Chains A and B, each alone.
Chain A
Amino acid sequence: MSIVSHWTRKAPARPLDFYGEGIPYLKEVDIRGRLIVIEGPDGSGRSTQIDMIISKLEADGHGVLNTGLKRSDLIKEGILQAKQMLPLGKRTLALFYAADFADQLEHKIIPALEAGEIVLADRYIFTLIARSTVRGIRTKWSEDLFGFALKADLVFYLDVDPNELFHRVVQKSPSLDYYESGADMDLSDDLFSTFITYQQRMAREFASLAKKYGLIRIDGNRPIPEIHLDLQQRIDRYLASI
């Protein structure tokens, strides 16, 4: 018995499984790794949790790729620049993020899964779908758009009370992120109410996506170690079941 758990060696290769039609020119690709997603708003403790999970998985001997939204080498800079330059429309933003996601999916996520790694995604298409829906884009359009996205094996979402979120976000940086707080949506005169309303709407969208796609809600109002224990147990149990 090796001290490293070589589960991927015994994990059978499987074809790519997509949410929709998929990517026609990748029909031949087989993967052996697993894709685990943590969704949740800024301030929900996502990155802290992801760091802890990665440490544990690596200690267990797994190869892990950490990826997330707006991290594509090619497109990330462009999105940031464009956002600073001039306000972008909701459809433009949705497609821009989809391009960034596609770039990472094809250049990072799929290759890592082919190599048998565990991919830990710091947010995935559900955040993108929810953001668009609260801005008035039909959910169906977003779902069709992300028909090329690979199905995740596990999706968690950290659910945190909006008032608690507000305090955490402000403690980190006193000025709120423009889009993350829904400031582009003209919801209210003051940023606090805007933030709360926006987060409530996002939470509502997540609740409905959770039902549809089997997202696992994690109570993010608890202390960090408690959340980690919860997540880690679920992940370990899942990996052991393969």
Chain B
Amino acid sequence: MQRPKSGSPKKFQITGKLIVVEGIDGSGKSTQLHLLDRWLRGRGLPVFTTEWNSSQIVREITSKGKKKGLLTPTTFSLLHATDFADRYERNILPLLRGGYIVLADRYAYTAYARDVVRGSSPDWVRKAYSFAARPDIRFYFRVPIEVAMKRILVSRPKLKFYEAGMDLNLSNDILESYRMFQARIIEQYELMAEQEGFTIVDGSLDIEEQQEKVRDTVSKLLPAPMKQTVQPVIRA
């Protein structure tokens, strides 16, 4: 676990492990994280899972701002950073220090991708998140847009305004806007993939195949006896 580049000046020790999944909506990352969570818990390891934009404190503001169309790219970015900071200070950091395996469904990389697509400066967003520890593993689920869109539209036939990137004025057609928005996010992910050291998973493979790669990668982080006990995925 690497300490953040810029954070509080106090030195501290982190003994836990931080694993994050990134990818566009419909890339299958949440499913994979859930299966990883089950597997680690099954092994009796202390696990904590956290999701992007899930902190109570900003939820109401974000939804109010969305309804009224009041969110500028900068406030949007800062509210997500506030949400992240709250989860980071309240859960992620203390649990990492306490030896937990923390699984994050989206991390700062989501901000690096989305906020930049919305018009924030890449450098500014990165500096804002510089207090965040660098994860031990950064999975990126790479998937063609069509595959991801099909998955999303099955479960959510009605896209929301901001979700579809309608605030970017890319297209008046919500589906087309969504497609263009996702394409731009993919572009950002691909741009940072090498520099950030993403472990790339082909999100168009079967769930089991993907999970095998995920568990294989994660097992290298775990204490030695774990290595020999990697088991094939059991279908839920």
Contacts and interface: CB of A to CB of B under 8 A. Distances in A.
Interface of A: 20-21, 23-25, 74-75, 77-78, 81-82, 85-86, 88-92, 94-96, 98-99, 102-103, 106-107, 136-138, 140-141, 144-145, 147-148
Interface residues of B, number: 36
B9 A75 contact: no
A148 B8 CA distance: 22
Contacts of A77: 61
B218 interface: no
A106 B56 CA distance: 25
Q: Which of B56, B64, B82 has the most CB of A within 10 A?
A: B82
Name the 6 nearest CB pairs between A and B, nearest first: A89-B89, A99-B78, A82-B57, A144-B127, A78-B61, A95-B82
B124 A106 contact: no
B78 A140 contact: no
A78 B72 contact: no
Interface stretch (B18-26, B27-35, B115-123): B115-123
B141 to A, nearest CB: 27
A21 B124 contact: yes
Contact of B121 (A24, A91, A94, A96): A24
B197 interface: no
A138 B10 CA distance: 10
Contacts of A21: 121, 123-124
B75 A106 contact: yes
Given A74-B61, A102-B75, A107-B70, A24 B85 contact: no
B124 A25 contact: no
A75 B70 CA distance: 11
Interface string B116-155: 0001110110011011000000000000000000000000
